[in-house]
């Protein structure tokens, strides 16, 4: 099983869903190549991930953590 996921937002979401289901994971750590990519490509990739992939894993009506009104300065597990 490969640990790198690349492709369209649809492909990434499907593969990520498959991996998280198989592993039973509740959280995912995303890493990206900050060195060899041009900055515009990095920003585009992370924006697409945030706008098109991440929302698919929220509960219906769920909000990102920054929009929930919680204090983000405290430690959370």
pLDDT tens column, 2-58: 678 889 999 999 999 998 888 888 778 888 878 888 999 999 999 999 999 988 888
Residue at 53 is within a domain:
yes
C-beta atoms surrounding 9 within 10 Å: 14
Residue at 51 is within a domain:
yes
pLDDT at 65: 66
The vertex-31 CA angle with 75 and 52, nearest 5°, equals 90
Residue at 24 is within a domain:
no
Q: Select, from the ranges 19-23, 28-32, 67-71, 72-76, the one with the highest average predicted confidence (pLDDT).
A: 19-23
Distance CA 18, CA 21 (A): 5
Residue at 50 is within a domain:
yes
Residue at 48 is within a domain:
yes
Residue at 35 is within a domain:
yes
pTM for the whole thing? 0.70
Distance CA 7, CA 15 (A): 10
User: Into how many domains does the chain fold?
Assistant: 1
Residue ranges making up the domain that contains 41:
30-57
């Amino acid at each position: 099983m490969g640990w790198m996921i690349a492709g369209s937002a649809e492909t990434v979401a499907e593969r990520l869903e498959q991996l998280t289901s198989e592993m039973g994971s509740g959280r995912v750590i995303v890493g990206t190549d900050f060195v060899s990519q041009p900055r515009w490509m990095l920003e585009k990739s992370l924006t697409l991930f945030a706008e098109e992939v991440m929302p698919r894993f929220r509960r219906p009506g769920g909000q990102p953590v920054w929009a929930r009104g919680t204090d983000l300065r405290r430690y959370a597990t």
